[in-house]
């Protein structure tokens, strides 16, 4: 099933919140997104101040969820989970 942009972004935030800073390759494996799609989503999340890049020597870039990202995740994720339950109620 195809995920919406919102769902992809929430998946990224959930992973960073639960597992800590991650490299691009690690996030690709955990989100099952291509490099280009993941990078687009990360760029959006960075622009919204939900995620930030941290450079740690040897040109290694790690992605970290911000305080704002945690707040958004804690508000939006429960709402999305409830919305997903609605179609099941209609059948």
In tens digits, the chain (91 residues) has pLDDT values of 578 899 899 999 999 999 999 999 999 999 999 999 999 999 999 999 999 999 877 778 999 999 999 999 999 999 888 887 886 654 5
Q: The pTM is what?
A: 0.86
Long-range contacts of 76-85 (CB under 8 A, 24+ apart): 76/6, 76/10, 77/10, 77/13, 77/14, 80/6, 80/7, 80/10
């Amino acid at each position: 099933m195809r995920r919406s942009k919102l769902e992809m972004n929430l998946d990224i935030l959930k992973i960073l919140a639960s597992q800590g800073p991650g490299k691009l390759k690690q996030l690709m494996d955990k989100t099952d997104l291509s490099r280009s799609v993941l990078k687009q989503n990360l760029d959006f999340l960075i622009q919204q101040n939900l995620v930030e890049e941290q450079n740690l020597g040897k040109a290694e870039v790690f992605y970290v969820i911000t305080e704002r990202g945690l707040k958004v995740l804690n508000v939006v994720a429960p709402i999305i989970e409830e919305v997903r339950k609605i179609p099941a109620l209609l059948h």
